[in-house]
Amino acid sequence: MNNRDNLRGALLMMIGMAAFTLNDACLKALSDHMPLFQTLFLRGIGNSIVLIFLAMAFGQWQWRHSSRDWRWLGLRSFAEAIAAWLFVTALFNMQLANATAIMQALPIVMTLLGAFVLKERIGWRRIAASLVGFGGVMMIVQPGSDGFNIYSIYALATVATVALRDLAARQMSATVPSIFAAFCSATAVTVFAGIFSLSEEWQPITVPAIWLLAGAMVMVVTGYVMSVMAMRIGEVSFVAQFRYVSLPVGLIAGWAAFGQIPAPLALWGCLTVVASGLFIFRRQRVLEQAD
């Protein structure tokens, strides 16, 4: 794999992460137009339809899988549905940049889970970096302070459920197509949201809401496709570092669309989380090159 492939992969990853963050901005803006589960249900229908066409176009519309893979697909889809509910709840009620920053703790959590659940070997440096990263998350959440928002706990819980989703994905066979797995997850979110939307008072779908829904659908599918392509083109240890482009995009989008600027302590927490994650990625790359 040459440097050009890595640069292409990095560019695709940056586009993908920016798209995911713009999807979040669209969802947050939708909170002024319709309730949470109605939003998730309508977006989920659109996402599922698009993923069906993508799976067929790329030859990934495959239903024959082992019972073991179906169990892991089920767990992954369940975790995705819970994560969607938790994160969008947080997104509707806290600053976009803060919610985005908390989600950057995912690589740190996955490093620790890899060590303690999957029995992967990690050194003291990465463990220390993970602990520093959690310190950064606490700077963003600020428990016990006047600025504490209970919905920060929802964002933290999202990290845990997404980590469960990714652990389930690691257990699936390589023969399970990634787009098909994404379709299963999107369908689970749609069914979950559809059931709970019955407890809400549905709102009329206005023209601005239609545009925001369309934007969310386009951005989330773009983010998914770009991130998958990035991982297949470049070296994972190199390309994954560019996930953090979502943080500056979140800061800019939060300021431009909602007039939100995180407190100074939260900004320092954002930088701490990113620095810890980058150290973990770089340390992993050094060890891979040494093997």
Can you give the pLDDT at residue 266? 82
| pLDDT tens digit sequence for 71-87 | 999 999 999 999 999 99
The closest alpha carbon to 148, from 84, 98, 206, belongs to: 98
| pLDDT tens digit sequence for 248-265 | 898 899 999 899 888 888
pTM assigned to the model: 0.83
Give the Cα-Cα-Cα angle 20, 26, 29 (nearest 5 degrees).
Answer: 145
Average confidence (pLDDT) per 10 residues, the chain, 291 residues: 74 89 94 95 93 91 94 94 94 89 79 67 74 81 68 90 84 87 92 95 94 93 81 68 83 90 84 81 66 57
Can you give the pLDDT at residue 273? 82
CB neighbours (10 Å) of residue 80?
25
Can you give the pLDDT at residue 87? 94
Half-sphere exposure of 142 toward its Cβ, with a 13 Å CA cutoff?
Answer: 16
Whole-angstrom Cα Rg for the chain: 19
Find the length of the chain: 291
DSSP H or E segment with residue 32: none
Question: Token match 């470049």: residue?
Answer: 234
| pLDDT tens digit sequence for 207-225 | 999 999 999 999 988 888 8
